[in-house]
Structure 1
């Protein structure tokens, strides 16, 4: 472990001021950052603990009929909130599919948004990695890449975004509220995370001196026809190889509105609005679902060990759409795909 200073601000303005110091990093639940510190992947010279920042631990209803979720609301609190379970079950199911109960008790909404992307080489400081050292190379492309991305990759990086919660937030079209020295701003969920491009070391569009204060959910509309399907190597405490979040509005067997996001396949939760549009006004059937899967996976590329993900994702999309259309979401603890 490196030496670092430690600050515990009690307000958003104090937190923003503290994070302005060179080499400073926010710490909330610590479920990701502490690991990165242990591996010497992150080496901050100052930690800014936001656990006691006033007002960030609340879930409040908005005037528009949605919910505003403070950045310090824990994953467990959020998943089991009765309003979330009733009106946004897709989000609740996604959160409960991730990590372990102990980690969910500590992990926060803001911290979940800011998890670093997943790659064996990123965590191994004995190897090259463009995310740690820009320009050093990406050995994952020709190395051990079973868990890696098949969409939105670049010559610089094929890492994947690890969050389950964020995949559901992308499908629900949430908005991330942030604050910084230039004031407050709102970032649509689809614009919060980045594809790697030539700067894979930058995971989000959050400025270095800004803090996430809340996530806002729009008025609910997918409380009946939804699913979160997560395919992984083991049932619990495992990241997704492929996950699919689906929310549909269905009337008389016809899809009126569709939102779909994929996890485990890209540097960010993956959405393609053109694929969702293929469902609108169409019968909820296999032919339509196949067309949607084809469009969602357009341009998918494997790198050897992860080639299987392309067909796995295609089948997962089709299964998830079938579950959502029928109103039979995948159970969190089900050992077999429904």
Structure 2
């Protein structure tokens, strides 16, 4: 009863005092945590799928949002934004304002920046696959193709994605090491893409729906044949089967031609450095003499620029030796 009487005495003054106290507490609190504005990144969530036959090409992942709140609210704010793809028409540079959401604090979104989107035709394209192989030294590639499926057949890759992305795109597959056999088969060869001669990574291009291609690997089959190696080698005389008669000796040997050209498979020709001619007998010659000899072929797969050579032996009498005094 005493408390009630106390409240009733000068109650207007007491109410004014209470109001001033509340206002003072609010002012102190506001001075410690004033409301402020900040610009933050808002992650964009693309909801639903585009209309049939359309694809969103290279959409931005974030946009800018302006929020207000205390410093603590701004620090803990998690701002996202939604875009409903099912409502977007076909077109390029379409301006769309996302719908903002705050899932982290009491901060309030006051504005959000629009984004520009490209909604394009979603097309299917079948591409031939260029199998690229290099030949080892002495070999030539005669054919290269990709096969896939069961039973295996000549393969194309089917790519589905934005028409603008797939324009002028080409597919290829690389055989890892130089081919040095009549046939090379490389399994699980990765399909790659290029545009205008430069590598184009379809997998790093962001679209909704995503770009797909099938198959992703093929079997690369390469056929090759050995090429022709052409070299020049020296003709070398053999030791005579018999020397000149007693009292005579060889002073010089002249071979014509000195060099001949050999052509053939690299593994056959590559190791030849010189050709030794057949030995001849000088037993009945006391002066210069020229022999026509057949050049040994060694392997019938080798083609020679000439098949015969001339060997001229210069023969002279031994010098007279005066007896010692």
**TM-score between both structures, scaled by the size of structure 2:** 0.20
Structure holding more helix per residue: 1
- Identify which of structures 1 and 2 has the higher relative contact order when contacts are C-alpha pairs closer than 8 Å and 6+ apart: 1
Of the two, which has the highest radius of gyration? 2
**TM-score between both structures, scaled by the size of structure 1:** 0.19
Structure holding more strand per residue: 2
